[in-house]
Chains A and B, each alone.
Chain A
């Protein structure tokens, strides 16, 4: 053992990224349990509407998936120090996320009012609203975080040196997108 001097060869992974990926592992485990419950109960409802009342949310899916591209462009812009480009793509991400969330709200309104499906109607209602709702909750948390950064940007507080931190938020947003692909496949493609 000796004392450390400047040690340029000693590079370890960024703690923010390690923490974020650990969080994804945990979140994935949570989603897996909800997906298992959804598949386990698929077609087992004893009464009420079933998965056949669902419509493919293609437009919403396109919105959410393209928001991954916009947030990627936003962070790339900040890395180059182009705060204007960052702000533009960042706001576009928020708009796309909000459209997705609004679309989910309309879909649920249709299911509740027109189809009479609530979380207590039957097993399909319970598992559907829980799984899609858990994902929507994650989108909501992401939107709040994105909006906070947008407000900070408007106040002129976000600069090039914050690119690595903003990138962590981008990682989270990508993760929420990937989870949506899984939820979409399970609920709207396989389970319908």
Chain B
């Protein structure tokens, strides 16, 4: 990211030495730079996690395959899951929040810029620490390299007895430290939104992206903190000889499951709410209509936040709970589909009767609507405890949550990349390459994750490193692995587009989409101070008011 383009340091003079510019990035407390660092860091780990997924798929491409050993397979699915959730999805989500929230509320920076930098570097070093296990796990005390206990690390597998060496310690400590980083950023986002809004922007006039990120940050605080507590307990067990999850001394393995999923399920909503946020900004702009049902969208978001705290044990139907427990979690899990469904109808109603422009961000959002609906439907299927007893821990579950995370969240993240790329870099991306990315990825996604459902229905459990031929799984696994090639090609087009357009894209101007939120009123890329003078807003679409003084929104809201 050349500082000369940005023009905040003596534009026109000779570019400063590389060391100086690197130093600026390392010591920065600017929310935009930290946002870009978060996103860049997430993209780096996306490639690493993607390579791990490819290794898993190559191993499963045919029965009795010997591409990797069972031990390596265990490490790969553990590292793939941990990486994708904690070091890809969370950093990218936080990166966008960091970059966009202050701009959208007309603020100069986040509420606590130094806490912001501190949180980023905690996340960054915890990721490096996790991956150091590949080399460090050998060298220190012998047994074990990368963690291999699965991304939810069920007890008693994590006990010293069953997990000697330090591989599990790397997992625990990395998640503990990144958790502190996440909590720090969440506190920062909440304080920024509640205390830094520009004059006139009451809570009811905030862009939906800001609202959804506020709820997301609240969920991070209520979800990641229990995980932090559970990791401290695991450390007490492993280092001080405690018995929290030590089944031989009366400890409970099921308690760990509860603690993990009290984090684990709201975490899904931590990731999906920002995806909803992107869709809620992009769909109105490319439908040339104001968002349909803004208050209902806000209410549905808050409802999702509350309900998501009470659904965690649907991950544990197969463990065996009481009838009352099962009933409660079946009902709450089904209930959360209601506010989510309301959102889907609101997005559809926004598009209804609009003048739709099928640019890349909109294409990704439309695919998201369809795929997220399917993901939600398989979710409702499994919310029913008897159905879950049949398919819990099967490949059907794997297909379901990848449909949510890839088909829902990742598609929206791609949409957000294309939508805000002109703002961040000042240049337009190549629409041709973006469309190639879209179609390759849609085809690859459906090849991989549609066919993944079937082996699950046919009884294939998750996390097995190979399988017998003749069970009807072979073809489905072959198709699943072929889809990976399409997805990889799509991501290649995406990365190439980002890099090429940064150098050769045509200048974007400050408002290439004729959009309505505040960030499009400042230059692209925005100056370090964001706005020369503090904006004052009167409605949810301040730029519409500016462009249409004869018919401003605030007359109707």
Q: A residues near B, CB below 8 A?
A: 1-4, 7, 10, 12-15, 18-19, 22-23, 25-27, 29-34, 37, 40-41, 44-46, 119-120, 122-123, 126-127, 130, 134
Within the complex, the shortest CB–CB distance from A189 to chain B, in Å, comes to 22
Query: For A126, what are the chain B residues with a Cβ–Cβ distance below 8 Å?
Result: 236-237, 242-244
Measured in the bound complex, the distance between the Cα atoms of B79 and A10 in whole Å is: 48
* Most chain A CB neighbours (cut-off 10 Å) among B111, B543, B545: B111
CB-contact partner of A123 in B191, B230, B243, under 8 A: B243
Any chain A CB within 8 A of the CB of B188? yes
Any chain A CB within 8 A of the CB of B378? no
Q: List 27 A-B contacts (CB under 8 A).
A: A1-B518, A1-B521, A1-B537, A1-B538, A1-B542, A2-B536, A3-B534, A3-B536, A4-B198, A4-B534, A7-B199, A10-B200, A13-B195, A15-B195, A18-B191, A19-B112, A25-B221, A25-B222, A25-B225, A26-B221, A29-B222, A29-B225, A33-B226, A34-B229, A120-B242, A122-B243, A123-B243
Query: For B226, what are the chain A residues with a Cβ–Cβ distance below 8 Å?
Result: 29-30, 32-33
Within the complex, the shortest CB–CB distance from B264 to chain A, in Å, comes to 14
Q: List 17 additional contacts besides A4-B536, A15-B195; criterion CB under 8 Å.
A: A4-B534, A10-B199, A15-B191, A19-B112, A19-B115, A19-B187, A26-B186, A37-B244, A41-B251, A41-B252, A46-B249, A119-B240, A120-B243, A123-B243, A123-B251, A130-B232, A130-B242
For window 503-527 of B, CB contacts with A under 8 Å fall at 518, 521
Given A1-B521, A4-B198, A30-B225, does the pair A40, B255 have CB atoms closer than 8 Å?
yes
Query: For B222, what are the chain A residues with a Cβ–Cβ distance below 8 Å?
Result: 25-26, 29
Query: For A30, what are the chain B residues with a Cβ–Cβ distance below 8 Å?
Result: 225-226, 228-229, 232
Within the complex, the shortest CB–CB distance from A50 to chain B, in Å, comes to 12
**Interface 1/0 per residue, B168-201 and A, CB below 8 Å:** 0000000000000001001110111011111110
Query: For B536, what are the chain A residues with a Cβ–Cβ distance below 8 Å?
Result: 1-4, 7
CB-contact partner of B545 in A1, A15, A22, under 8 A: A1
Any chain A CB within 8 A of the CB of B259? yes
CB-contact partner of B533 in A4, A127, A134, under 8 A: A4
Within the complex, the shortest CB–CB distance from A41 to chain B, in Å, comes to 7
Query: For B243, what are the chain A residues with a Cβ–Cβ distance below 8 Å?
Result: 120, 122-123, 126
A15 & B221 in contact (Cβ 8 Å cutoff): no
A123 & B533 in contact (Cβ 8 Å cutoff): no
Secondary structure at the B interface, as helix, strand, loop or mixed, is: helix
Any chain A CB within 8 A of the CB of B535? yes
Query: For A120, what are the chain B residues with a Cβ–Cβ distance below 8 Å?
Result: 240-243
Measured in the bound complex, the distance between the Cα atoms of B262 and A25 in whole Å is: 15
Query: For A46, what are the chain B residues with a Cβ–Cβ distance below 8 Å?
Result: 249-250
Given A33-B226, A123-B249, does the pair A3, B191 have CB atoms closer than 8 Å?
no
**Interface 1/0 per residue, B211-252 and A, CB below 8 Å:** 000000010011011101110110011001111100001111
Measured in the bound complex, the distance between the Cα atoms of B538 and A168 in whole Å is: 33
Q: How many A-B residue pairs have CB under 8 A?
A: 129
CB-contact partner of A127 in B111, B244, B262, B535, under 8 A: B244
Within the complex, the shortest CB–CB distance from A51 to chain B, in Å, comes to 15
* Most chain B CB neighbours (cut-off 10 Å) among A44, A46, A120: A120
* Most chain A CB neighbours (cut-off 10 Å) among B112, B196, B241, B518: B241
**Size range of the chain B interface in the assembly:** 35 or more
For window 250-289 of B, CB contacts with A under 8 Å fall at 250-252, 255, 259, 262
A33 & B229 in contact (Cβ 8 Å cutoff): yes
Within the complex, the shortest CB–CB distance from A129 to chain B, in Å, comes to 8
B111 & A15 in contact (Cβ 8 Å cutoff): yes
Query: For B230, what are the chain A residues with a Cβ–Cβ distance below 8 Å?
Result: 33
A4 & B199 in contact (Cβ 8 Å cutoff): yes
Within the complex, the shortest CB–CB distance from B9 to chain A, in Å, comes to 26
Within the complex, the shortest CB–CB distance from A169 to chain B, in Å, comes to 16
* Most chain A CB neighbours (cut-off 10 Å) among B188, B232, B244, B252: B244
A4 & B250 in contact (Cβ 8 Å cutoff): no
A22 & B535 in contact (Cβ 8 Å cutoff): no
Any chain A CB within 8 A of the CB of B128? no
Secondary structure at the A interface, as helix, strand, loop or mixed, is: helix
B200 & A122 in contact (Cβ 8 Å cutoff): no
Any chain A CB within 8 A of the CB of B319? no
CB-contact partner of B252 in A13, A18, A31, A40, under 8 A: A40
Measured in the bound complex, the distance between the Cα atoms of B244 and A130 in whole Å is: 10
Any chain A CB within 8 A of the CB of B546? yes
B194 & A13 in contact (Cβ 8 Å cutoff): yes
CB-contact partner of A23 in B187, B237, B249, under 8 A: B187
Query: For B221, what are the chain A residues with a Cβ–Cβ distance below 8 Å?
Result: 22, 25-26, 29
Which residue on chain B has the smallest CB distance to residue A34? B229
Given A1-B537, A4-B533, A41-B250, does the pair A14, B195 have CB atoms closer than 8 Å?
yes
CB-contact partner of B195 in A18, A26, A40, A45, under 8 A: A18
A22 & B190 in contact (Cβ 8 Å cutoff): yes
Query: For A130, what are the chain B residues with a Cβ–Cβ distance below 8 Å?
Result: 232-233, 236, 242, 244
Query: For B191, what are the chain A residues with a Cβ–Cβ distance below 8 Å?
Result: 15, 18-19, 22
Within the complex, the shortest CB–CB distance from A139 to chain B, in Å, comes to 17
* 8 A-B pairs with least C-beta separation: A120-B241, A29-B225, A33-B229, A15-B195, A4-B534, A126-B242, A1-B542, A10-B199
Which residue on chain A has the smallest CB distance to residue B237? A126
Measured in the bound complex, the distance between the Cα atoms of B196 and A84 in whole Å is: 35
Measured in the bound complex, the distance between the Cα atoms of B233 and A31 in whole Å is: 12
Which residue on chain B has the smallest CB distance to residue A25? B221
Within the complex, the shortest CB–CB distance from A38 to chain B, in Å, comes to 10
**Interface 1/0 per residue, B82-101 and A, CB below 8 Å:** 00000000000000000000
Measured in the bound complex, the distance between the Cα atoms of B229 and A46 in whole Å is: 24
* Most chain B CB neighbours (cut-off 10 Å) among A30, A32, A44: A30
Within the complex, the shortest CB–CB distance from A7 to chain B, in Å, comes to 5
Within the complex, the shortest CB–CB distance from B249 to chain A, in Å, comes to 6
Query: For A26, what are the chain B residues with a Cβ–Cβ distance below 8 Å?
Result: 183, 186-187, 221-222, 224-225
Query: For A4, what are the chain B residues with a Cβ–Cβ distance below 8 Å?
Result: 198-199, 533-536
Within the complex, the shortest CB–CB distance from B184 to chain A, in Å, comes to 9
A12 & B197 in contact (Cβ 8 Å cutoff): yes
Query: For A119, what are the chain B residues with a Cβ–Cβ distance below 8 Å?
Result: 236, 240-242
Measured in the bound complex, the distance between the Cα atoms of B231 and A130 in whole Å is: 12
Which residue on chain B has the smallest CB distance to residue A23? B187
Within the complex, the shortest CB–CB distance from A186 to chain B, in Å, comes to 15
Query: For B251, what are the chain A residues with a Cβ–Cβ distance below 8 Å?
Result: 41, 123
Within the complex, the shortest CB–CB distance from B551 to chain A, in Å, comes to 15
Within the complex, the shortest CB–CB distance from B178 to chain A, in Å, comes to 14
Within the complex, the shortest CB–CB distance from A14 to chain B, in Å, comes to 7
Measured in the bound complex, the distance between the Cα atoms of B226 and A31 in whole Å is: 9
Query: For B252, what are the chain A residues with a Cβ–Cβ distance below 8 Å?
Result: 40-41
Query: For A25, what are the chain B residues with a Cβ–Cβ distance below 8 Å?
Result: 218, 221-222, 225
